[in-house]
């Protein structure tokens, strides 16, 4: 195991709620043109899905209990991703299994010349629903991160967390709720629900924003009081804004050896930012660390090499 598992004490665990899939990654020396027949340099299977990736990176960075919650199918694909969760030490005991379905699959073309990744995703498995979420003990968690998907059910889950927080005594630390808005679908209803909101470049560009700063200034007024809004922008780094309107920014940190694999860089960024914020660090430290860890990830295949880097080094 990358980290040995340990049980989290009350209120110490980070829960990631979202999607897990099997990534079938074909490494190619160029991106194919339409109707072209090319041979892959190599192929590998990997666990994929935004929150699944984020939970594993969090586990490496925190060295503490992290949990993934989502839906699983049956068959060797599910067995494979559960084995990877176990290797990382990520708890998945509350996942909901639908044995009549297979796990979602992403078919990835990874261009070894520039590290770009192109994804075709297929899924027909049911999404996690509010009734599934009600079965977990919220007292275990200090932070819950949601993918912006299945909006009606996710909104109900967030309401349940808010009700839990409202029931706590003032001396108890409330659960922080973060949400990732990535896709171009209508996800505006989630914006005012997050304590920490991550908005992707893809989403921003779809709505006409030219850069991360413009996005932050453009939608900060829609966020809840006290919220932090964060927008990573690939090679241009990341920008954040707090509820007082103060902007923070970080450059990107390209890997010295060049781009090798950008698949999951955004998930890595989110994990690193959550780790710092959950540890009590400020917004500037958090987004700078996020850019550094995401940059390091882009210089390696997969994520496991992140465990070999001494992140307590003053440079980080």
Per-residue pLDDT tens digits for 38-71: 999 999 999 999 999 999 999 999 887 899 999 9
CA pair distance 231, 228, nearest whole angstrom: 10
CA pair distance 302, 282, nearest whole angstrom: 28
pLDDT at 9: 45
pLDDT level of residue 127 (50, 70, 90 thresholds): very high
Least confident of 61-65, 107-111, 158-162: 61-65
pLDDT at 11: 59
Alpha-carbon torsion (197, 203, 205, 206), positive or negative = negative
In tens, the pLDDT along 239-260 reads 999 999 999 999 999 998 888 8
Alpha-carbon torsion, ordered 141, 143, 148, 153, to 10 deg = 30
DSSP assignment, residue 91? B
The two tokens of residue 30 are 């160029």
CA pair distance 305, 302, nearest whole angstrom: 7
Instruction: Give, for 48, the enclosing helix (H) or strand (E).
Output: strand 42-48
CA pair distance 172, 1, nearest whole angstrom: 33
């Amino acid at each position: 195991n990358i980290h040995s598992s340990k049980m989290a004490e009350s209120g110490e665990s980070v829960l990631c709620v979202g999607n897990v899939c099997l990534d079938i990654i074909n490494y190619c020396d160029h991106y194919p043109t339409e109707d072209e027949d090319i041979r892959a340099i190599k192929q590998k299977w990997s666990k994929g899905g935004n929150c699944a990736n984020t939970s594993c990176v969090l586990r490496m960075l925190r060295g503490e209990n992290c949990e993934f919650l989502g839906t699983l199918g049956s068959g060797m694909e599910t067995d494979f991703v559960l084995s990877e969760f176990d290797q990382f030490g990520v708890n998945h005991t509350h996942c909901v299994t639908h044995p009549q379905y297979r796990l979602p699959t992403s078919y990835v073309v990874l261009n070894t010349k520039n590290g770009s990744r192109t994804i075709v995703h297929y899924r027909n498995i049911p999404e996690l629903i509010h009734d599934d979420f009600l079965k977990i003990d919220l007292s275990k968690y200090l932070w819950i991160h949601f993918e912006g998907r299945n909006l009606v059910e996710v909104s109900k889950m967030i309401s349940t967390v808010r009700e839990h927080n409202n029931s706590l005594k003032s001396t108890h630390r409330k659960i922080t709720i973060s949400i990732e808005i990535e896709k171009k679908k209508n996800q505006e209803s989630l914006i005012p629900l997050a304590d920490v909101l991550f908005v992707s470049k893809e989403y921003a560009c779809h709505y006409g924003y030219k850069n991360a700063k413009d996005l932050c200034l453009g939608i900060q007024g829609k966020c809840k009081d006290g919220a932090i809004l964060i927008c990573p922008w690939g090679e241009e780094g990341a920008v954040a804004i707090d509820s007082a309107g103060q902007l923070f920014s970080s450059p990107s940190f390209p890997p010295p050896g060049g781009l090798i694999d950008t698949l999951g860089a955004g998930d890595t960024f989110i994990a690193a930012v959550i780790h710092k914020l959950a540890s009590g660090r400020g917004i500037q430290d958090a987004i700078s660390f996020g850019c550094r860890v995401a940059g390091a990830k882009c210089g390696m295949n997969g994520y496991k090499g992140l465990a070999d880097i001494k992140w307590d080094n003053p440079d980080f």
